[in-house]
Structure 1
């Protein structure tokens, strides 16, 4: 591949090509939909959104993971991993399972600690991925063992179904994966898919 092909010929050096995508379609671990039934559809789309976040962060060191978007924002890929671990923890462990456990990052004094604590330290990055994967494993077990999507939890004295939580989490990931597209492109030019 030539430098011109890699840099692209479009204005501002942007040009679509598989070389600058996160993963070639033949190697993409995400599904191509084709789910059967509501349960499998919701679980499948959430799984794909989780995989998308991983793809957008693949191959980055601690400095790149913690790099902020633009001042004064504290948004970073590491912050997104921490934030989404917090969301998994909150919605599945605290709300749906009813566990009275402390939050992962947020506190009364530091409500944005998932983002502000995203520092360029390899240990912080490893801990964030471990927390995120641990919360996903918990969520996947809870969903697999639930007798139906009508199982309920309580949030702010309101009842919410597992169905609503799954839809909310798909929305949460989709929104933040859009942020991750721009963050990754700013880091090394890789574009989203």
Structure 2
């Protein structure tokens, strides 16, 4: 078992099926996205929202194998949970590109602008790579943001604050997609 397999198994182990609501992942009182940490100020609010939506993506994918992760929504869409993970890895990287860093695309190419979706095939190695890339890109984004004391700092295309809000918005959109994709796979609904 590779380290990415162990990481995915650890993420899945964090979320045991709800005993109160069989179609949910965890009992509401055990939801790892909810914390007792007091959120103070703009930076904490934005970073907590990003953390929350990242955990939501993990939650929506917990316990699925490569075939389930690669299941497409409805024809002709190429959307799948695996595609979402790959797409969000690209978005994390795009965050840094917007901020002026040199960060070439991971899955998309000039020939296949939808490579993040099209390459999301039912292969355990493809799934492991997607999770590895997403986690690495998320960590890079976090380190990048930590390097700025002021979210008004203009980096590349816009102030860091605007880039961060755009990233949170992208996650929020895709968490809604993930709700529907997961419900199609096994009936589990949004939480």
Q: Tell me, yes or no, if structure 1 residue 24 matches structure 2 residue 22.
A: no
Deviation sequence 1:121-163 (CA, Å, 0-9, x none): 0000000000000001011111122121012222xxxx30110
SS of the equivalent of 1:46 reads: helix
Deviation sequence 1:72-118 (CA, Å, 0-9, x none): 100000000000000000112x222x222320111111000000000
Q: Matches of 1:87 and 1:28 in 2, distance apart?
A: 25
Q: Matches of 1:53 and 1:101 in 2, distance apart?
A: 23
Consecutive unaligned residues of structure 2, counting only runs of 5 or more, are 1-19
Q: 159-168 or 58-67, which moves further after superposition?
A: 159-168
Show the counterpart of 1:86.
Answer: 90
Q: 139-148 or 67-76, which moves further after superposition?
A: 139-148
* Superposition deviation, residue 34 in structure 1: 4.7
Between structure 1 and structure 2, the one with the greater Rg is: 1
Among 170, 173, 176, the alignment partner of 2:174 is: 176
Q: Is the 8 A contact 1:76 1:115 kept in 2?
A: yes
Show the counterpart of 1:56.
Answer: 60
Show the counterpart of 2:10.
Answer: none
The two structures have a TM-score, normalised by structure 2, of 0.86
Show the counterpart of 2:125.
Answer: 123
Among 148, 162, 171, the alignment partner of 1:164 is: 162
SS of the equivalent of 1:60 reads: coil
The two structures have a TM-score, normalised by structure 1, of 0.85
Q: Is the 8 A contact 1:23 1:55 kept in 2?
A: no
Q: Matches of 2:111 and 2:54 in 1, distance apart?
A: 29
Consecutive unaligned residues of structure 1, counting only runs of 5 or more, are 1-16
Show the counterpart of 1:37.
Answer: 41
Q: Matches of 1:178 and 1:47 in 2, distance apart?
A: 16
CA RMSD of aligned residues (A): 1.3
Q: Tell me, yes or no, if structure 1 residue 74 matches structure 2 residue 61.
A: no
Q: 103-112 or 19-28, which moves further after superposition?
A: 19-28
Q: Matches of 2:21 and 2:33 in 1, distance apart?
A: 16
